[in-house]
Structure 1
Amino acid sequence: MPSADRRLQPRRTPRQVRAELTRERILTAAAHVFAEHGYAAGTTNRIAERARISIGSLYQYFPNKDAILAQLLMRHLDRGAWTQADQLDLSPGTLEATVRALVRDAIDNHGDDPQLLRIMIEEAPMSKELLETIDRHSRERGAQVRDLLARHPDVHVRDIDTAAELIMFTVELNTHKLMADPRTIPVETFEKELVDMVTRYLRGDR
């Protein structure tokens, strides 16, 4: 709904360095407040106090805490670009290392405080801008994975597009789940088992 989307839009787009720094202070403060107090108790007053600005100044940038959380999730997604994908060695015998790089990148990108990660996953309201950011992230990541699978000589799957979608879904979903509650499985064990599973699938092991 357009009215709901307007509730989630930042009120002010920074055009000066000081304004951008203030916006970043608000987002950083909100991340700490949500992680420490939870979303229900993470009020805009607490965020403003943590950012050391007045509540009026906060409202110049964001209309409510829903808009702040939506921006935190979009920032999380935008910072999750796989920048090292083009530098991987795709020579024969490197498939396991390639898969490990993909899994490790997903783990590193979800290294936020577990409580904050759970809040972003469970509480962030879905605005049009956020949905577009999620879709763009998915398409860009999918293109990278498809390209790697198509060029790697050790990959033996029936359909590259389907394999790329399956791997993305498997890695992203399981990484989100683990990093939101890292007590369930040691991260090192999770990484090893997921790398082994995906590598065997891509090799066509039966």
Structure 2
Amino acid sequence: MPDEKNTVLSKRRRPKQARSTQLVEDILTAAAHVLREQGAHRFTTARVAERAGVSIGSVYQYFPNKHALLFRLQSDEWMQTSTVLRSILQDPTQPPLDRLRTAIQTFVRSEKAETDLRKALCQAAPLYEDTAEARQLLADGHAMVGSFVEEMLPNTPSEKHRLAVGILAIFFEKIAESICDRADTEDVNLYSEAMADMICGYFSKLHSEIS
């Protein structure tokens, strides 16, 4: 495991001009390509710089080490996914159960569409998963799920609330990944529908108990 004190994940400087912003985007695009092609164990800043067509010094201007690059790829992926899930789970125009079903199916399809990058990021996770930044992202995700459960199941006993949050967290963190690894592209919708049926059935049962 990496030493949290020695793993610097924050960028060295923030791009202020359009040209600098584009450079960072080019570096991140190159980093994603290198990660897919080489895997986490052969991922280096030198390979990223070569793929991006820039000097390694240009990479180090914004990312102090490969851990920072990998974490940025992971955090961008997490944030994009969280934004989509949050927009679904917090949609006031839809009943909570419908929101939950849509979120489950959308998440599985999204994970399947990015299978190669997701697997590569999973390989890289041990390089930064024990850092404060990574734990904060995970905590933010749990908070989003917890808020949804609180809305859907108000006044639920604390133990059942904790269990409901845990089930959703396990689905988003582990089960969906396993489904995508096992299911062919043409079958992933069937798997996501079946998983939505099971989880929504459980939440319907909890809701009926407090109604």
TM-score, normalization by structure 1: 0.79
1:175-194 matches, cutoff 5 A: 175-179=176-180, 182-183=183-184, 186-194=187-195
Unaligned runs of 5+ residues in structure 1 are none
Cα pair 2:145 2:165 within 8 Å, conserved: no
**Partner Cα distance (2:38, 2:182) in 1:** 17
Aligned residues between the structures: 195
Task: Report Cα offsets for 1:68-100 as digits up to 9, x if no partner.
Answer: 00111111111122212232521xxx83x3332
- Larger mean CA deviation between 57-66 and 101-110 belongs to 101-110
Assess, with a 3 A threshold, how the Cα gap between structure 1 residues 113 and 33 changes in structure 2: closer, same or farther.
farther
- The reply on whether 1:89 has 2:91 as its aligned counterpart is no
Q: Which amino acid aligns with 2:45?
A: T
Match of 1:146 among 146, 150, 157: 150
Larger helix percent? 2
Structure 2 matches for 1:12-23, cutoff 5 A?
12-23=13-24
Q: CA deviation at 1:185?
A: 8.9
Residue type of the alignment partner of 2:29 = T
Equivalent residue for 2:141, pick from 137, 140, 147: 137
Equivalent position of 2:5 in the other structure:
3
The amino acid that maps onto 2:163 is T
In 2, distance between residues paired with 1:139 and 1:35? 30
Percent identical among aligned pairs is 27
Secondary structure, counterpart of 2:94 in structure 1: coil
- After superposition, where does 1:185-204 map in structure 2 within 5 Å? 186-204=187-205
Contact 1:73–1:120 under 8 Å retained in 2 = yes
Q: Which residue in 1 is equivalent to 2:66? A: 65
Q: 1:4 to 1:109 in 2, by over 3 A?
A: farther
Summarize the Cα distance change of 1:72–1:180 in structure 2 as closer, same or farther, 3 Å threshold: farther
| Superposed displacement of residue 49, structure 1 | 2.2
Provide the rounded CA distance (Å) in 1 between the counterparts of 2:188 and 2:88.
21
Greater mean deviation of Cα atoms: 51-60 or 173-182:
173-182
CA RMSD of aligned residues (A): 2.8
Quote the Cα distance in structure 2 between the aligned partners of 1:172 and 1:2.
22
Look up the SS of the partner of 2:175 in the other structure: helix
CA contact (8 A) 1:142 1:168 kept: no
- Deviation per CA, 1:27-67: give whole Å up to 9, x if none: 12111111122122232222112222222211111122221
Cα distance in structure 1, aligned partners of 2:30 and 2:165: 37
Note the C-alpha offset of 1:180: 5.1
| Cα distance in 2, alignment partners of residues 55 and 168 from structure 1 | 38
2:169 pairs with 1:168: yes
